[in-house]
Amino acid sequence: MDHSALYIILACIFGFFMAWGIGANDVANAVGTAVGAKAITIMQAVIIAGIFEFAGAVLAGGQVTSTIRSGIIDASQFVQNPNYLVYGMLAALLAAGIWLLVASKFGWPVSTTHSIVGAIIGFAWVELGANSIKWHVVTSILLSWVITPIIAGLMSFLIFKSIQKLIFLNTQPERAARRYLPFYVFLVAFVVSGVTLINGLKHVVAGLSYELDLFIAAGISFVIMVIVYWLLARVSFSTPSQTNRFAGTEKIFGVLMIFTACSMAFAHGSNDIANAIGPVAAIVSIVKSNGNVLATSPLPLWILLFGAIAVVLGLAMYGHKVIATIGSNITELTPSRGFAASLATSMTVILASGTGLPISTTQTLVGAVLGVGIARGITALNLNVIGGIFMSWAITLPAGALLSVIFFSVFKWTLA
């Protein structure tokens, strides 16, 4: 292929930019509620997310290069013009990266998956026509805008209401905390181990069924619940000042949030990193196979490392704005409220993994935070912020597509 070295260099630059945008926007979902609830600081969030995103990407992020390339469009239609598929993937990376930068600047939590999907749709439509696009995939994405936020919102509403009724509104909250906290610990351990087995380690521990993953997660969770029950019987919940009689209980919910955040970061690194490195790997594969667009090959380790580093840098440098939106601008969070939102998000991820439900982690978490806010009353929600978030969701796909069309045209004109 002509310009082979240039294609790989551009792919690395644009892929790094896209992965940086994922760190600035999407990774904030894993830690935003914990920061907003003041369970951890932003610096601690960056360290936690950095470690587990990196671990998830490098240890469990291996995928074949056909994942992004073939999931949305029919790559075989580029057999006669493999350069055009390269131009398209370059355009998609740049378009999605720019949209994520814009969204992060305004603090909008958008779906990185939807960004790259919209960008791929854009160049494929103008080059091959509407029939080249797998519209059932697009339909599932549109459904995810409605389905997953509602499910997560309902779950977080019920979890938060149960915490209020069983513990905080109990006439003896300390005794109630000792009785019921082990059950919430079981749920956290279940979703942490479940998300890790089902989503995080699915490329490492191959051959395990969804049901077996859940059985193993339940066994691990039961053991942890028994240990916590024993420990809580020996721990005092009271605080010296007694200015907040729920402080000890809230602190425990804050600790539980940290474990959930670690699990979500690991799962995110193992899966969503493909949004940035998938197109990079596709370009590298096409170039190395001398234009064979149907070739598939294992994902090179250097691309995984490359993407993981970019994600961590994006979070550290620019993730604070989306963290603020998720953690404090939608509704005021305490550790127990943030715990309800993060637990509901993880439970929805597990449900989606087993049923094939289309899902966006971003929209799932926003729905969960909304559910907690609604549980406190509609006045607890910042409707202006929510309106801006919904608007950003609606324009993510067309924005990515439009930018991709522009860049694809430029690459065809300058590189052909």
- Per-residue pLDDT at 88: 92
pLDDT tens, residue by residue, 132-153: 888 887 887 777 778 889 999 9
Which tokens in the block code for residue 50? 């950095």
Q: Answer yes or no: is pLDDT of 245 > 60.
A: yes
Q: Phi and psi for 154 in degrees, rounded to 5?
A: -65, -40
Q: Is this model's pTM higher than 0.75 or not?
A: yes
Structure tokens at 208: 């395990």
Q: Domain limits at 172?
A: 4-415
Q: What is the pLDDT of residue 67?
A: 45
Residue 201 or residue 210, greater confidence = 210
What is the per-residue pLDDT for 33? 87
User: Residues 6 or more apart from 387 whose CB is under 8 A from it?
Assistant: none
- Look at residue 8 and tell me whether its pLDDT is greater than 60: yes
pLDDT of 70 over the 60 cut: no
Distance, CA of 336 to CA of 339 (rounded, Å): 5
pLDDT band of residue 202 (cuts 50, 70, 90) is low
Instruction: Give CA–CA dist 326/388, Å, rounded.
Output: 13
- In the predicted model, what is the mean pLDDT of the chain? 83
How high is the pLDDT of residue 139? 83
Report whether pLDDT(199) > 70.
Answer: no
30-39: buried (b, 16+ CB within 10 Å) or exposed (e) per residue?
bbbbbbbbeb
**Would you give the distance in Å from CA 13 to the centre of its chain?**
22
Write down the residue that tokens 């779906």 correspond to. Answer: 111
Task: Annotate 247-303 with three-state secondary structure.
Answer: HHHHHHHHHHHHHHHHHHHHHHHHHCCHHHHHHHHHHHHHHHCCCCCCCCCCCCHHH
- How many domains are there within the chain? 1
Place of tokens 């160049």: 123
**DSSP-based three-state secondary structure for 6:** helix
How many angstroms separate the Cα of 295 from the Cα of each of 278, 283, 290, 298? 14, 11, 10, 10
Question: In the predicted model, what is the mean pLDDT of residues 336-358?
Answer: 80
